[in-house]
Amino acid sequence: MVDQIEVPSDGWEKEEIPDDDFLFMRVHRSFLDSEDKPIPGAFRNRPKVGGGMSTDWAKYSTPEDAWRRARVPEDNIVIRFIAGQVRRVPGRWIEHTPDRKRNNRAHTDVWGEETAEARVRFGRIYQIVPLDDISPIGDSQ
C-alpha cells in the first residue's frame, strides 16, 4: 500500500527543508543599527496575527532574488540563517510555504511567538550576506 500524496497542480508542494540549508531574509535599513547590523526588532513576524517570520529558502532563491522582492530593494540588506540553527531556537519551527500569489516558490515561514528570547537568539545566528553577493557590480545605477 502506497500513501497518496496530494500534489498541488502547480507542482509547488511543501518540502522538508534540510538542516544545512540557508534561509534568506531581508532587513529594512530602519532595523539596522549604527554599525549596519540588525537590531532585535528586525526579527519579527509579518503580519503580527497569523504570520511567521518571512524568509526565502536557498533551494529556490538566491540572496539577490530575496533582495529584489523588497518594495525598495536599495533600502534593504539580506541576512541568512542556517535552518538547523533556527530550529534550535525555542518555540520556533520552519515551514516551507510557497507563495503562488507572489510567484515565490522559496517562501518559508519561521513560525512561533515573537518572544524576547527568540529575538535575542536570532541576533546570534544570522550572517549578513555581503552586498557584492546581492547586487553584482555593474548591475545597479
Partner 1 sequence: MASLQLPTYLSESIRQAIEESRRILDLKDNWDDEGSPAYEESTWARALDFLTLNAITLWRHRAVWVCAPRILPGPQGSIDLHWRTGGRELLVNIPASLSEPADFYGDNGSCNVIKGKLDTSEDNEWILLWLTR
- Assess 102 for contact with partner 1 (CB under 8 A): no
- Applying CB under 8 A, the site for partner 1 has a residue count of 22
Give the 3-state secondary structure of residue 52.
strand
- Assess 7 for contact with partner 1 (CB under 8 A): no
Return the amino acid letter for 104: N
Interface with partner 1 (CB under 8 A), residue from 37, 44, 59, 87: 44
Euclidean distance between CA atoms 3 and 5, whole angstroms: 6
- Assess 11 for contact with partner 1 (CB under 8 A): no
Return the amino acid letter for 33: D
Cell reading at 140:
545597479
Interface with partner 1 (CB under 8 A), residue from 21, 99, 114, 133: 114
Q: Which of 76, 100, 90 is nearest to 25 (CA)?
A: 76
Binding site for partner 1 (CB under 8 A): 28, 30-31, 33, 39-41, 44-48, 70-72, 75, 114-117, 119-120
